Structure 1
């Protein structure tokens, strides 16, 4: 064994290295896990992943996905060559985008007039045009966007990132969800569920505009004191560990226990993390909170 090899490299060389490494990454903070793997062809720069899913947003055909064939066939009877699910009164004729497109940046990317300001940074944006959905049903399309599959039962993208990369902070969740204050998209929390991955990788829903941003984070009953609440958590943890020792081969128990332990830590850490009162004025202004 190379004496200079990191623990990650050692585990990857073992027969169960992949499983062990994934487990350790999910358990340990990234900051204490050693150097990045030497298998990467470049030093990793990404520290976090932010996904914006905007259900009901403008069509890609009207923003950055120019279709010259639609221009050519505009007004002709549509024919997809196969059955296509349609809403309301069926399928109308082919229709080109009503907006003008022009090229932007050194890459010459075609973008419509409604997103023209993005042309200033278009060379820093990656566009993926080969994602295809086979259903026009909102719930199935949302599953496809959130999990990569158009049926339920699969982890959300954030759960995979959380499972693979772990967390930089043991007291805060590595995967958080900020839903629209008007309501969830189709499928609701199933879009950020962990499915068959450990439950601690599921998304933690946060509602910043509410008095209690994380539901059920603190006990609401008047008779629950800080002391009795702490004693209750300790008792539940002891019972869970006793139950786990009699079932050592069931990984779901450890995952559930870790979820409960994280919830207990959140009662302190999340309260501080979500308190914006100590942030400087320029930060409030950056996020449009100066008049909030």
Structure 2
């Protein structure tokens, strides 16, 4: 018999072939959902980037309050030399009450670190062990002399108007990698200086809002994603209940025509149902080794809180979340008692941050994860009172590490006092444009039409800082 000749199409053969065909269709659907993150009809479906990305995700370590650049990563020997003298430059007129024109030296010692020989103080000893992985931007500047303005500018690109947050723009542009988790997670987000606006969607469809885990002031060990586990009903019972609710929601949506809020409610219910199988496992750190817990400082009182936040960030990153923010409380605002305040704050975050960088590197995640560190602004090189520093949005430091950026690199600089950014200046709009580019998004093409015009994260501004790319 010719092996290529088809066998007679009996009833048994027909059922066999049809069964295999349906099986292949089911497999293709599962693979498609895995590949594209969510159903194609979902607003969170994975979308193609504008160009090949260098990073798959971002972890933003937000130091709320404004850490001092001249006490950490921006070495200014002149402060030591002119300590107590009047500064020889004109300071900003919007200085706070009690601010002076007296130069104040740093209470921390600076030295060169790593093979790159970058200057950094001993304020962050664990972080500077990774100095050869860091890309420092010492020429950041922004608008907003107050926290409220500067925090909103950092998170939304605007210090005046209500605008979508960075994470919402990213989720809108790329969708979610994992259909069982949100694309945007914010851990212990700030409740002040913008509050929910810092992870909100403004006029973007509500489905792109960040999912908060706890809030500032709530221990992350006691926080979680609310109502993600239902102990009263079985999964089958919940599905039947949800199907009834969704049929009513879709009927409402059809009558309302276009309403993104209803679409977001429908999608959020489906996502919440799917999250039950994934989120509890991601939030459960009991399976982590003692060595890993110690690496993040979770075994020590001073570092346990931020250590848990950073470890959660790593777990969400490896689970496919696009944008993860890890915030401190509003503690870096040392208008007085700079030395004791910054020392205490640095102690609480330094080891967890060093542990995060080390852990990401070990797992190969730093190759496609971009880590961003910084506050809403820096602090002046001048004294406020006898031992504090005022806000300084005119020049400050943020650093990046990981996917797509140069290692052991310093970009830009401030003046000899560390007050004004003067060389290779990077505005907050430039930083946002650069972050989007690293994720494969062109900030000029990532737009949303609202109120008769196209909006974007960088508005009509923004320059991609190509000089920091590896």
How many residues are matched?
A: 255
Contact 2:155–2:198 under 8 Å retained in 1: yes
1:150-165 matched pairs, under 5 angstroms: 150-151=159-160, 153-165=162-174
How far apart in 2 are the matches of 1:256 and 1:45?
A: 33
1:193-204 matched pairs, under 5 angstroms: 193-204=200-211
Alignment gaps of 5+ in structure 1: 1-22
CA shift for structure 1 position 64: 0.6
1:187 counterpart residue number: 194
1:28 counterpart residue number: 45
1:275 counterpart residue number: 284
Contact 1:103–1:111 under 8 Å retained in 2: yes
> What is the SS of the residue equivalent to 1:263?
helix
CA shift for structure 1 position 108: 3.9
1:230-241 matched pairs, under 5 angstroms: 230-241=239-250
How far apart in 2 are the matches of 1:267 and 1:131?
A: 41
Q: Indicate how the Cα distance of structure 1 residues 261 and 91 shifts in structure 2: closer, same or farther if over 3 A, else same.
A: farther
How far apart in 2 are the matches of 1:254 and 1:219?
A: 23
1:18-57 matched pairs, under 5 angstroms: 27-29=44-46, 39-40=51-52, 44-56=53-65
How far apart in 2 are the matches of 1:123 and 1:24?
A: 44
Q: Indicate how the Cα distance of structure 1 residues 81 and 287 shifts in structure 2: closer, same or farther if over 3 A, else same.
A: closer
Is residue 2:261 matched to residue 1:244? no
Task: Provide Cα deviations, 1:70-106, integer angstroms capped at 9, x if missing partner.
Answer: 55654343564542141x4243423232333333345
1:60 counterpart residue number: 69
Task: Provide Cα deviations, 1:94-134, integer angstroms capped at 9, x if missing partner.
Answer: 32323333333454422223335544432321112332234
2:221 counterpart residue number: 209
Alignment gaps of 5+ in structure 2: 1-39, 215-219, 305-470
What TM-score comes out, normalization by structure 2 length? 0.46
Task: Provide Cα deviations, 1:145-176, integer angstroms capped at 9, x if missing partner.
Answer: 22232235122222222222222211111211
How far apart in 2 are the matches of 1:219 and 1:63?
A: 46
How far apart in 2 are the matches of 1:229 and 1:236?
A: 10
1:75 counterpart residue number: 84
Contact 1:26–1:162 under 8 Å retained in 2: no
> What is the SS of the residue equivalent to 2:106?
coil
Greater strand share, structure number: 2
> What is the SS of the residue equivalent to 2:119?
strand
What TM-score comes out, normalization by structure 1 length? 0.70
| Bigger relative contact order (CA 8 A; separation at least 6) | 2
CA shift for structure 1 position 45: 4.4
> What is the SS of the residue equivalent to 1:28?
coil
Task: Provide Cα deviations, 1:231-279, integer angstroms capped at 9, x if missing partner.
Answer: 4422221112112223444444323321232123223332233233445
Contact 1:25–1:165 under 8 Å retained in 2: no
Task: Provide Cα deviations, 1:210-235, integer angstroms capped at 9, x if missing partner.
Answer: 2x611243569xxx644665444222
Q: Indicate how the Cα distance of structure 1 residues 143 and 286 shifts in structure 2: closer, same or farther if over 3 A, else same.
A: same
CA shift for structure 1 position 185: 5.3
How far apart in 1 are the matches of 2:187 and 2:242?
A: 27
2:270 counterpart residue number: 261
Contact 1:26–1:166 under 8 Å retained in 2: yes
How far apart in 2 are the matches of 1:114 and 1:278?
A: 32
CA shift for structure 1 position 47: 2.7
> What is the SS of the residue equivalent to 2:112?
strand
Contact 1:147–1:154 under 8 Å retained in 2: yes
How far apart in 2 are the matches of 1:73 and 1:29?
A: 55
1:53-202 matched pairs, under 5 angstroms: 53-56=62-65, 58-67=67-76, 70=79, 74-77=83-86, 80=90, 82-86=92-96, 88-115=97-124, 118-151=127-160, 153-179=162-188, 184=191, 186-202=193-209
